Structure 1
Amino acid sequence: MVRILDKAAVQPRSRFNLSNSFTIKRSPARSRLATIRIRIPVLNAQPNRVELVATIGVQGVTGIAQILFRIFRDGVEIFNTQQGIESAASEQNYAVTFQAIDRNVRSGNHVYTVTAENRTANTRADIVGPISFSGLAVKTRT
């Protein structure tokens, strides 16, 4: 049996929109995409997990960019995944979705942030939307 401890969701961009796009920064710089806050209560919250889901709309502009998506809890990286994004003469528009699970998070308020960075020189990929990021904290069985 699981019990919901907290949930949070943001959707800073609700649709694909080229006129509102921005370029993903080149590593080691990062583009911050979304932030949520999750509260783990002090009492009866262990063991637990925070289930995180992000969907990011990306467009390849030049070359084949390797985009590294990261999730941070309180400024510390807890998850990452990489996605190749092709450009002209191929697929250009992607909705990249990924999920991470953060286990046995200590009590208190926690800030989760999702970022993107382009790891490939001489390529370009843009965030075109949508952007959504959600977290669900649950107490799991003992």
Structure 2
Amino acid sequence: MTIESPKVTVAKSQEEVFNFLTDVKNFEKLMPSNLNKFELINDKRFLFALSGMPEIVLELKSTEPNNKIILGAASDKLPFTLTSNLNEVDANTTGAQLIFEGQFNPMMGMMIKGPITNFIGTLAENLSKL
């Protein structure tokens, strides 16, 4: 299952957006308003919970300087990645898109598609407001 956020524009340089997203504690600033819990575990891992959803631990898996950040689920129960693709529009503007990719059975996929689509859309929208 692949879900893409709308492409957004961020009024910051590509390097600034990359540095913001690779500092995982900053994801708290991007979370939806129904965030129940956010806990920094270490400099590469954080836990969050949204209303009506289980707690999820995300960790920084890999980066491609100034272009791509890949976060992944720390648990094998729900294997997925959340990739941030960044591209320079100009020196002070960055284009960004979030891509969720996960391996789920069809029933689970149907249940989570709506909430995940809303979640990454909110993350992208909040990123555009930086």
- Structures share fold, TM-score greater than 0.5: no
Bigger radius of gyration: 1
Q: Which has the higher contact order (CA 8 A, sep 6+)?
A: 1
Bin for the TM-score computed over the shorter chain: 0.3 to 0.5
Q: Where is the strand percentage greater, Structure 1 or Structure 2?
A: 1
TM-score normalised by length of structure 2: 0.36
Q: Where is the helix percentage greater, Structure 1 or Structure 2?
A: 2
TM-score normalised by length of structure 1: 0.34
